Amino acid sequence: MTRDEPADGTLHGALRSLGVEPVTCVVLEEHPPEDAAALRAAADSLEQFDWVICSSVRAVNAIAAARSRPWPAGIHTAAVGARTADALVNAGAVPMPIVGAGDGADALWAILSTMPWQGARVLLPGDPGGRPLLGRSLRDAGAVVEEVEAYRMVARSDDRIRADWAASRPDAAVIASPKVAARLAGAVGVDALNALTAIVAIGPATSAALTAAGVRHGVSPRADLVEAARMITFKP
């Protein structure tokens, strides 16, 4: 596992239910935003937006934690994935968030692109290192988009990644993002990754990064950690 999920988290449970023992080699660590005041200001002014669109559970949690009062009713929301939608509902979002037919920004935009966006005020909280698809597409459609850094995913040093890799001695790996794919390949080497029994990319963007690095892998049918865990017995 290349993400800093708690031991009682979803992916740990999914792997154990398959008879697989989760071990961790964290590649990116979550850090607070550099400008916490900007996040608080955006969170406390949700009422001025027509839409809040979140690309991760981390983004939802960061906005909800930074807001000093309950989530306002009546603001439209959308989510990249069902679990992010669940997090929005738990934060108090009403009406129900819009979710794409599949996980990922492309699937969500396939739905959102059919809607009128001219002049709509949209808040996009997230990681500045994430994919720019939604922000760019919404602006092209005429929306007024404000992007705020809700958190930062910061790469650990090569030495720390290699130390975790040696200690965990993995047989397989679930790769959760293109940034993780490139960072892990650079730290431990392509040969070490190709020596594993299985590598599963969480989605097509991550698959493309692994392909570019020369790493053999399978691709989860949905951009979801649980679906990726179910593929862990795949041997490329």
CATH number of 10-27+156-230: 3.40.50.10090
Q: Is the pLDDT of residue 146 over 90?
A: yes
Biggest alpha carbon–alpha carbon distance for the chain: 53
Domains 10-27+156-230 and 32-152 share a fold: yes
pLDDT tens track for 192-213: 999 999 999 988 888 999 999 9
Side by side, which strands form the sheet with 172-175?
172-175, 198-201, 218-219
Q: What pLDDT score was predicted for residue 8?
A: 58
> How much is the pTM?
0.80
Q: What pLDDT score was predicted for residue 22?
A: 87
The domain locations on the chain are 10-27+156-230, 32-152
Write the class of the CATH domain 32-152: alpha beta
DSSP string, 5-54: --TTSHHHHHHHHTT--------EEEE--S-HHHHHHHHTTGGG-SEEEE
Query: Taking a C-beta distance cutoff of 8 angstroms, is the pair 202, 226 a contact?
Result: no
Q: What pLDDT score was predicted for residue 82?
A: 85
The share of the chain scoring above pLDDT 70, in percent, equals 92
pLDDT tens track for 50-104: 999 999 889 999 999 999 999 999 999 999 888 899 999 999 999 999 998 776 7
